[in-house]
């Protein structure tokens, strides 16, 4: 039996909306930026998510956030490179 390749996948949930971080994102940095934003009246926190897309989330002192990490099967497209997005309406998989 061939061992399947895996990767760590991080899910960030902010006010009930889940986003899966793209590979290469510094989870400690994301946590720090969320914490810093809660210390203000509100600030956008920018994330690179699966599909190599940028998502901006407004975080305020009343925002609820959670972060979880899991081992999943490797997706070699998930590089975190914003210049090479994948998925969506125009990505036709064969």
- Tell me the pLDDT tens digit for each residue of 24-69: 999 999 999 999 999 999 999 999 999 999 999 999 999 999 999 9
Judge whether residue 89 has pLDDT over 70. Answer: no
pLDDT given for residue 92 in this prediction: 42
- In a domain? residue 39: yes
- In a domain? residue 16: yes
Q: How far apart are CA 1 and CA 61, in angstroms?
A: 50
- In a domain? residue 1: no
- In a domain? residue 82: no
> What is the mean predicted confidence (pLDDT) over 12-32?
95
- In a domain? residue 56: yes
pLDDT given for residue 1 in this prediction: 54
CA-based nearest residue to 5, from 78, 91, 82: 78
pLDDT given for residue 88 in this prediction: 61
> What is the mean predicted confidence (pLDDT) over 8-32?
95
User: Residues near 24 by Cβ (< 8 Å), separated by ≥ 6?
Assistant: 48, 79, 80
pLDDT given for residue 32 in this prediction: 97
Q: Which domain holds residue 16?
A: 6-73
- In a domain? residue 54: yes
């Amino acid at each position: 039996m061939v061992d399947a390749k895996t990767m760590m996948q991080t899910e960030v949930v902010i006010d009930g909306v889940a986003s899966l971080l793209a590979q290469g994102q510094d989870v400690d940095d994301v946590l720090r930026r969320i914490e810093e934003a809660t210390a203000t009246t509100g600030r956008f926190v920018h994330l690179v998510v699966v599909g190599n897309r940028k998502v901006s989330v407004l975080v305020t002192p009343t925002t609820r956030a959670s972060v979880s990490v899991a081992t999943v099967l490797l997706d070699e497209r998930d590089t975190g490179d914003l210049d090479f997005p994948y998925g969506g309406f125009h990505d036709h998989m064969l």
